[in-house]
Amino acid sequence: MSKNWVDDDDDMGRPNKLVHEGTDSNPNVAVQFAERRDLITQVIFLTNSTKVGAYACYRAVNLVVVDLPEGITIIGKSSFNQCHALRTVTFPKTLSLIDKWAFSDCRSLEVVDLLYTSILEVKDFAFGHCSELKTVTLPDSLQTFGKTVFFGCILLYPTDKICHDNCAVAAHLRSLQQQLS
């Protein structure tokens, strides 16, 4: 069973932190959060969480930091889509899947470091239109990589700004760059 609550207050006494406890996280079920998603600046997933549910923090435009705990294996579809102020994401070693549009249109995100994760699959548009994304680090464990993962990330091209050890991923990224040119 999962539960969510809002915590802390901003200068005007409004809650600005969402706390999630449970194995499947989908903060959309927290009515207070849904009504005030623009006030949330921080999300805390307690250590028993295993998945960030689809649309969990969708359009939380002032969310700045996401620190995902060990145990999270899946980041669901559009989980952090349109979190325009999101600057920092800490990915856990246990992460294996980033679904479609998970971080799409996170305009302030500059670095994606997946090197020390167990990531196997990153789906289409996972980081699409992250206009400030400058550096991406991918591990050898990556097996499936969507064709449009970094679509619209204009600061990533040429692909030498994407660090990796996986030759198949490197070839795919070079091919993608040629298609977009």
> Where residue 164 sits, what CATH number does that domain have?
3.80.10.10
Q: What is the pLDDT of residues 131-152, one digit of tens each?
A: 999 989 888 889 998 889 999 9
Which residue stretches of the chain have pLDDT < 70? 1-36, 157-181
- Angstrom distance (rounded) from CA 83 to CA 22: 23
Q: What is the pLDDT of residues 83-104, one digit of tens each?
A: 999 999 999 999 999 999 999 9
Domain holding 39, by residue range, is 3-180
- Angstrom distance (rounded) from CA 42 to CA 25: 15
Tokens for 141? 């464990």
**What is the model's pLDDT at position 12?**
45
Instruction: Look at the chain and report how many structural domains it folds into.
Output: 1
- Name which of 157, 161, 47 is nearest 111 in CA terms: 161
Q: Which residues have a Cβ under 8 Å from the Cβ of 49 and sit 6 or more positions away?
A: 20, 21, 22, 23, 24, 25, 69, 71, 72
**What is the model's pLDDT at position 74?**
95
**Tokens 């009515």 belong to which residue?**
31
**What is the model's pLDDT at position 141?**
87
Q: Which residues are bridge partners to 18 per DSSP?
A: 6, 43
**What is the model's pLDDT at position 169?**
53
Helix/strand/coil (H/E/C) assignment for every residue in the chain = CCEEEEECCCCCCCCCEEEEECCEECHHHCHHHHHCHHHCCEEEECCCCCEECCCCCCCCCCCCEEECCCCCCEECCCCCCCCCCCCEEECCCCCCEECCCCCCCCCCCCEEECCCCCCCEECCCCCCCCCCCCEEECCCCCCEECCCCCCCCHHHCCHHHEECCCHHHHHHHHHHHHHHC
- Angstrom distance (rounded) from CA 55 to CA 59: 9
**What is the model's pLDDT at position 4?**
45
**What is the model's pLDDT at position 171?**
52
